[in-house]
Structure 1
Amino acid sequence: MLLTNLKEYRAIRNMKQDELAELVGVRRETIVRLEKGQYNPSLKLAMDLAKVFEVSVEELFSFTKEISDNRK
């Protein structure tokens, strides 16, 4: 599962989703899905987003292992 701090970094900069989308060359819907953890960014997109906020990719995104129901 993808975890992201994208929304928090965007809020710090008072940046709208469409503004960020334009900066990195994607549609606003892509930013929405990224913020909801519904889309895994390409390496290029992750790096472009990190560059906008002047942070590392790891500061913006992390993955957590999902535990399946049959491991109970």
Structure 2
Amino acid sequence: MKNKIKVLRAQHELTQAQLAQKLEVSRQTINAIEKGKFDPSLPLAFKLSKLFAKPIEEIFQNEES
């Protein structure tokens, strides 16, 4: 699944470690999500949506789209 987490993280001047701490996950989890190796759980997607004040659909896109 494609996502804009890396771009949003940069816009908010957050490191992977800082974002991971805010979301209560590991930095490795953030790295894997950014690289498309791991799709976040629905609760984690909602946390990202709330943190970045963006709809989930704006952060994540199905690769088929």
Q: Taking structure 1 as the reference length, what is the TM-score of the superposition?
A: 0.85
Q: Which runs of 5+ in 2 are unaligned?
A: none
Helix, strand or coil at the partner of 2:25: coil
Provide the C-alpha distance between the structure 2 equivalents of 1:26 and 1:53, rounded to a whole number of angstroms: 16
Unaligned runs of 5+ in 1: 66-72
Q: Count how many residue pairs are aligned between Structure 1 and Structure 2.
A: 64
How big is each residue's C-alpha offset from its partner over 1:15-62, in whole Å with a ceiling of 9 and x where there is no partner?
000110011110000000000000011000000011110101111111
* Bigger Rg, which one: 1
Identity of matched residues, %? 38
2:54 — aligned with what? Answer: 55
Residues in 1 aligned to 2:8 and 2:48: alpha-carbon distance in whole angstroms: 10
